[in-house]
């Protein structure tokens, strides 16, 4: 059984989301503010979190920051605002995706399925172009696809699933340039429409975690007007 945590201070929205998700066969747990969400995560095995941004006591951004201290569970933000700044803030803190209210139930279910599919793939065995040992190394960055771990100079780096998937794609193809649309389609497994900013935020976050000088990256590079690549030059 897949367990989904829905956290929103509007009870009508929580009830509607419960109906949508239970119709897909998910076990749904609920919370109405960030503190309640953290309590559920401490006591239940949760596979995905739907998290409202604007909430009392502890808002969604603060809650997500606390979750990311100990867990890489997929998080989809629910926001009533459509401005890019809100989406970028959420992605920077560690969200895997976002849905703007009022949301389309079909779109929401598709995004939930997409995140869960990638989560299950990372938890299981899948082929890697890096060889039988699943190890890819670019300079001091080592990706172990069997353990789903990335280290920098031997130190473990805490990546979200989305960051890991993007890095894995780029490291499997050193020197190859991927456009933002190509990255989105291969990582999110969805058609890319206006997703350049979403990819750019995750790339910037990868640089912050993996580069000695994120402003002058040596490994995770942008090719202006074309996309991104990983190389050691």
Q: What is the pLDDT of residue 139?
A: 81
Burial class (CB in 10 A: 0-12, 13-18, 19+), 75: buried
Residue 79 or 50, more confident: 50
Confidence band for 230, pLDDT divided at 50, 70 and 90: very high
Average pLDDT over residues 80-107: 78
- pLDDT at 190 > cutoff 80: yes
pLDDT tens string 113-148: 888 877 775 553 333 334 446 788 888 898 988 888
Sign of CA dihedral 158, 159, 161, 166: negative
The pLDDT value given to residue 192 = 73
If one looks up domain 3-123 in CATH, what number appears?
A: 3.40.50.2300
174/130: higher pLDDT: 174
Confidence (pLDDT) at 129: 37
Residues of the chain with CATH 1.10.10.10: 135-230
Q: Which of 6-10, 50-54, 137-141, 173-177 has the lowest mean pLDDT?
A: 137-141
CATH 3.40.50.2300 in the chain, residue ranges: 3-123
Tell whether domain 135-230 is in CATH 1.10.760.10. Answer: no
- Give the β-pairing of 48-52 and 97-100: unpaired
Mean pLDDT of 159-183: 94
Q: What is the C-alpha to C-alpha distance for residues 73 and 58, in angstroms, rounded to an integer?
A: 19
Task: Determine the 3-state secondary structure of 187 from DSSP.
Answer: helix
pLDDT above 70: percentage of residues in the chain: 90
* Predicted local distance difference test score (pLDDT) of residue 163: 95
Residue 97: is its pLDDT beyond 90?
A: no
CA distance 86 to 144: 33
pLDDT exceeds 50 at position 180: yes
Supply the mean pLDDT for the chain: 86
- What confidence score (pLDDT) does residue 50 get? 97
pLDDT range class, residue 106, cuts 50, 70, 90: confident
Q: With 80 as the cut, is the pLDDT of residue 206 above it?
A: yes
């Amino acid at each position: 059984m897949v367990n989904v945590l829905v956290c929103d201070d509007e009870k009508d929205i929580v009830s509607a989301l419960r109906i949508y998700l239970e119709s897909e066969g998910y076990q749904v747990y609920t919370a109405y503010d960030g503190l309640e969400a953290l309590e559920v995560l401490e006591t239940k095995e949760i596979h995905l979190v739907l998290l409202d941004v604007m909430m009392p006591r502890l808002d969604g951004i603060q809650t997500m920051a606390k979750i990311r201290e100990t867990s890489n569970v997929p998080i989809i933000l629910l926001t009533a605002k459509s401005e890019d700044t809100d989406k970028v803030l959420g992605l920077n803190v560690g969200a895997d995706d976002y849905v703007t209210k009022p949301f389309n139930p079909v779109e929401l279910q598709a995004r939930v399925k997409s995140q869960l599919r990638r989560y299950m793939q990372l938890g299981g065995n899948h082929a890697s172009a890096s060889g039988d040992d699943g190890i890819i190394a670019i300079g001091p960055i080592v990706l172990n696809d069997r353990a789903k771990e990335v280290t920098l100079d031997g130190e473990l780096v805490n990546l979200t699933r989305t960051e890991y998937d993007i890095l894995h794609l780029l490291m499997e193809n050193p020197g190859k340039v991927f456009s933002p649309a190509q990255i989105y389609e291969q990582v999110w497994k969805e058609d890319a429409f206006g997703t350049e900013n979403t990819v750019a935020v995750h790339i910037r976050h990868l640089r912050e975690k993996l580069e000695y000088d994120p402003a002058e990256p040596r490994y995770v590079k942008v090719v202006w007007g074309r996309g991104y690549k990983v190389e050691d030059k």
